Amino acid sequence: MAGQKRALSQTDSNVAKSQPPSKRQSQQLAAGKENATHDYTGLKKLDLCTLLQQRNLPYSGNKDVLIRRLEDSDRDHSSARNSGRATGKGHATAQTIAPEFNFLTLCRPWEDVEAEKQVNGLEYDPSEEYEEEDEAHSEVDEDEEAAPGDTSMAGQRKSICGKKKCICKLPASEHPEHNWILTTEGYRLVARLQWEIEIRDQDKFGEHFFSDFNGYGFQEVMENQLLSFDREFSKGSTREEGPSPAGLWSIIEGFAWALNYQGFWFNIDYPDMVLATLKLIGGAVFTTLNILDKNGLLRPDTPVKNIALVLGVLYDNTRDWPGDEEGELEWRAAMIKEVLQHGIEFKGAPYGIERLFETDGLDRSQLDKPDSRWKKWKRFDWPKEFRSFFKRFRKGPTIGGRQFALESKADLARVRKTWGSIWNV
C-alpha cells in the first residue's frame, strides 16, 4: 500500500515561496483587474483611433467621443466575461464571441415611416425628410478608403442616406433607443449587394438584351451570396469552435435587405431554380440560427442585438412571394417560431410586424406545438443541400459569377457581343 504523501513544503522549505499561485488563486487575483476601466485621457487622438481600429470599432469624432467609445467597449467586454462565468458553458462561449458583434445605426426606411403614417391616417411625403445632396457628401473619392457601408461607382456607397437628420453609420451604443441597426460587416455587405444588383439592371444602362436579363442578374447575386455563406461555414472545419457566428450572421443581414420584392426574378423562364434558391436561403438562415444557439447567442439578452429586426425585415419583405405551397418558403414561419421559443421579442421594427404575425398565426400559443415543418428546418443539412444545389445549377465549374455584371465599358461590350441589344448594336 502506498505511503501517505507529504506536503511539498515539508520536502523543501524553498518550494512554498517559489511556486506560482494555483489556477484558482490566479483567477481570484485577476478577478478585480478585468473590471477596471482604463484611463485613456492621456493618449493622443491618433492612438485612440488606432485602438478603436484594432477593435473593429468606428474611429471618427472628437477625442471625448473616442474615449467614451473605448470605455463602453471595455464595459461590454467585462460584462460579457462576467455573464459567461455566471451562466455556464453556452454563455461562456458567447462572451468570447460577443466582441465580434459591433453595430452601426441606419436611418429608418421611408417605407417603414410611410406604413405607420397610413395606419394612422396621416399623409406622408418622403421628400420632406430629405435634403438636397451636398457636394461634400455626394460620393466618396474613388481613391479614398471606403468607410463601413460606403459604396460608389467603383464599389463605394454614398456616405449618408440624404435625410435631414441622418444618423447612418453611428455607433449603435451611442443611440440605444434606435431599433434600426446592422453589424459593421453587415452594413458593408448590404451596401455591396445593393451595388451588385444595380450593375445587373439593364434599364439603368439604357440597354435591353433580353427580357429576363435583370432576373438572371439577381439570381447570380444570390448565388454569389450562397457561395460566400458556404465558404464561411466551411471555415468551421478548421476551427475548434466551428463556424464564426458573426461571419454567418452578416450574410443573413445581407439577404434580409436584398430580398425585397423582385418580380423580375420570379418571372424568369427557370422557376425551379428560383424556388431551389429560396429553399437554400432558408437553409442558410436556419444553419445560422443553429450556430447562434450552439454558441449561447440565441437568448433574450443576446449580444446579437438585431436578430428580431433582421428576421422581421426578412419575413416582411417576402410576405407575398411564391413558394409557400411547394414548401420552399416554409422556413419563414419556422424561423420566427424558433426565435420566439428562445424568448426573443419583436418590438415594432419593422412597423406592424407583431400584427403581421398575428394575422399569419404566429403567436406564442403555437410554440408548444412544433410541427414537422419547423423540425425539418431545424435539422437542415447545409453541406448536403448546398452540394446538391451546386451540382444541379452550376454553370461550368461553379455557380454565380459576373456574367451579368455591367460594371465597366468592357463588361458592356462583352454582354452586347453575347446577347446583342435592341438599343445599342
What is d(CA 333, CA 276) in angstroms, rounded to the nearest whole number?
A: 18
In a domain, 171, yes or no: no
**184-198 vs 213-234: helix axis angle to the nearest 10?**
150
Q: Do 326 and 219 have their domain in common?
A: yes
In a domain, 203, yes or no: yes
84, 106, 128 — which closes off a domain?
A: 106
Q: Do 212 and 92 have their domain in common?
A: no
Q: Do 198 and 95 have their domain in common?
A: no
Q: Do 230 and 338 have their domain in common?
A: yes
Instruction: Find out whether 299 and 245 touch, Cβ atoms under 8 Å.
Output: no
Here the cell at position 154 is 467603383
pLDDT digits (tens, 9 = 90+) for 360-369: 888 776 666 6
Q: Do 85 and 214 have their domain in common?
A: no
Identify which of 305, 376, 287, 387 has the alpha carbon closest to the alpha carbon of residue 347.
305
Identify which of 247, 333, 329 has the alpha carbon closest to the alpha carbon of residue 292.
247
In a domain, 381, yes or no: yes
Q: Do 262 and 409 have their domain in common?
A: yes
Query: pLDDT value at position 247?
Result: 95
Question: Which structural domain, as residue segments, surrounds residue 70?
Answer: 39-106
59, 85, 106 — which closes off a domain?
A: 106
In a domain, 145, yes or no: no
Q: Do 205 and 306 have their domain in common?
A: yes
In a domain, 167, yes or no: no
The contacts of residue 350 (CB under 8 Å, 6+ apart) are 109, 112, 115, 309, 312, 313, 316
The tally of domains found in the chain comes to: 2
Query: pLDDT value at position 420?
Result: 81
For CA atoms 235, 275, 193, 402, the dihedral sign is positive
pLDDT digits (tens, 9 = 90+) for 222-277: 999 999 999 999 998 777 778 999 999 999 999 999 998 678 898 899 999 999 99
Which ranges of the chain have pLDDT less than 50?
Answer: 1-36, 79-89, 133-159, 424-425
In a domain, 291, yes or no: yes
Q: Do 216 and 326 have their domain in common?
A: yes
In a domain, 398, yes or no: yes
Q: Do 193 and 67 have their domain in common?
A: no
Q: Do 191 and 290 have their domain in common?
A: yes
Strands 103-105 and 181-183, by their bridges, are antiparallel
Query: pLDDT value at position 91?
Result: 54
Cut 0.85: pTM above it: no
Query: pLDDT value at position 272?
Result: 92
What is d(CA 223, CA 29) in angstroms, rounded to the nearest whole number?
A: 52
Any idea which residue has 488563486 for its cell? 25
Largest CA distance in the chain: 98
Q: Do 99 and 194 have their domain in common?
A: no
Query: pLDDT value at position 238?
Result: 73
51, 85, 106 — which closes off a domain?
A: 106
The contacts of residue 281 (CB under 8 Å, 6+ apart) are 222, 226, 255, 259
In a domain, 369, yes or no: yes
Q: Do 358 and 259 have their domain in common?
A: yes
Query: pLDDT value at position 261?
Result: 67
